[in-house]
Every structure is written in structure tokens, then in C-alpha cells.
Structure 1
Amino acid sequence: MKLIQLFTFLVMSFSGIVYAASGHDLKPVYGGAVAEVKDITFEFVATADSLLLYLSDHGKPVDISRSTAKATILQGAEKQEVELKTAGLRFEATGSFKIANAKVVVTVSQPGKAPVNVRFTLK
């Protein structure tokens, strides 16, 4: 009887580890596309006249005051590069953007760290 209890305990213990290691269910906070790279969650919100990028680390905003970001929007054969400026706790850009069914690559550079490329597919 004790062997069965030990086996059940071990199975339950390892199943918790597997569950914790599985992918996170990333949900948008601001209604955008979400991706995670190097434990940082990136949310990209795009409209025809504005681009917003939010960074968070386990739900807490990341300090971007000394960071830079650039978005490259790819729609068919067209390519548009946009500098994103810091605006409080987010990066933003305004203008005219073709975002329908576009793919976006965002490059974020933070002091003392290698640049990070994040890819989004917009609908």
C-alpha cells in the first residue's frame, strides 16, 4: 500500500513540474499581438495611424527610459521602417501605416544587453 502512495506522490510531483514548464498562455492587456522573448512579454498594438509597444516582466512594466525600438512592417513586397519613441511606460509612433495582414519585426535595444528581435503577425 505504501508503494502505491509513493508512486502516486511522485507522479503528482512531476506532473506539476511539467505543467509549470509548459508555455504560458499570453493574453493581450491592451488588445494587441503578444509575444515573449527572454522572459519579457512584448505587446504590439497597431492601428492605421499609431503603433504602440508595451514591455512587461511577469506583469510588471519594464523600464524603457534608456531603450530604443524600431519596427519593420512587411506587407507583401512593401517594407516600412519606423522609429518608436519612448512615451512613459511604452514605445509609440504616429503616422500612416499599412498594417492589414502585415508581419512586423520589432528590434528593442536596452543598455548593456544584446538587441532583441520580436516578430508579430497582424490580422
Structure 2
Amino acid sequence: MKHLISVTGLVLSCLSMNPAQAHGDAKPQHGGIVQKANDLSFELVAQADGAMIYLMDHGKPLASKGITGKLTVLQGSNKVEADIKEASDNTLLVMGVKLGKGDKLVAALSNVGGKSMTVRFTIK
């Protein structure tokens, strides 16, 4: 009987738990791939000769002013690097890389709210 009461209590406590909810919306707004880091959302949108990265903070645009970095693209055994530069408002621009299915990307960013951070993407 004690065992049944313990199991019932455990089941009821599990049912009453609220799962953690992330801040902001993780859905792409520009048709890209969204990743989160430090409560910020980064949406990578591949373009013909590079990419755009859109910055969001809890669903609101985050200014890209002063943010720089490097994008490392792993394409199988090949590694390509390109500079990340501020573009306008809440966007960063990467030029000189061709992105394709299966590529793994690492964006190493500096001066995001005074901090450095790394954001990883995989193109599916």
C-alpha cells in the first residue's frame, strides 16, 4: 500500500509540473534557421553569395550596431571562414560563402550587448 501511495504521489507531482518556456518566438520570421543563445534569437538566412543573420531579443529586434564576428562553415572536410559585419538595424551580413544542405556553421560574435558569444547552425 505504501508503494502504491508513493507511486501515485510521484505521478501526480509529474503531471502538475509546468515545463520551462523559452522567451520569445523560435519560429523563423525570414525563412531561415533560428537558434537561441543567452536568451537572444539568431535567424540565419542563406543567400546566393553569403547570408544574413537577424537578431531578436525576446521577440523584438536587437540592434546590430558594433557587432562583428567570424562565420566558420564546415562543408564535409572543407572549412571556410568569412567576416560577419553589421548591416542595418537588427541584421548582420556575411559575404563570400556558398551555403548548402548539410553545412555546419559557427558564428563567433563580438560585442553582443558587450559580450562575446557563439551560435551554431546546421543547414538541413
With normalisation by structure 1, the TM-score equals: 0.76
Provide runs of 4+ in structure 1 moved above 4 Å.
Answer: none
| Secondary structure at the counterpart of residue 81 of structure 2 | strand
- % identity of equivalent residues: 39
What is the count of residue pairs matched by the alignment?
108
- Which 5+ residue runs of structure 1 have no aligned equivalent? 1-10
Paired residue for 2:98? 97
Deviation at 1:109, TM superposition (A): 1.0
Deviation at 1:96, TM superposition (A): 4.2
Deviation at 1:114, TM superposition (A): 3.1
1:46 and 2:49 equivalent?
Answer: no
With normalisation by structure 2, the TM-score equals: 0.76
Deviation at 1:41, TM superposition (A): 0.4
- Which 5+ residue runs of structure 2 have no aligned equivalent? 1-12
Deviation at 1:85, TM superposition (A): 1.5
User: Whose helix proportion is higher, 1 or 2?
Assistant: 1
Deviation at 1:35, TM superposition (A): 0.6
8 Å contact from structure 2 (residues 82, 95) kept in 1: no
Q: 1:36 to 1:111 in 2, by over 3 A?
A: closer
Partners of 2:36 and 2:61 lie apart in 1 by 14
Q: 1:31 to 1:111 in 2, by over 3 A?
A: closer
Paired residue for 2:71? 71
Partners of 1:54 and 1:98 lie apart in 2 by 17
Alignment RMSD? 2.1
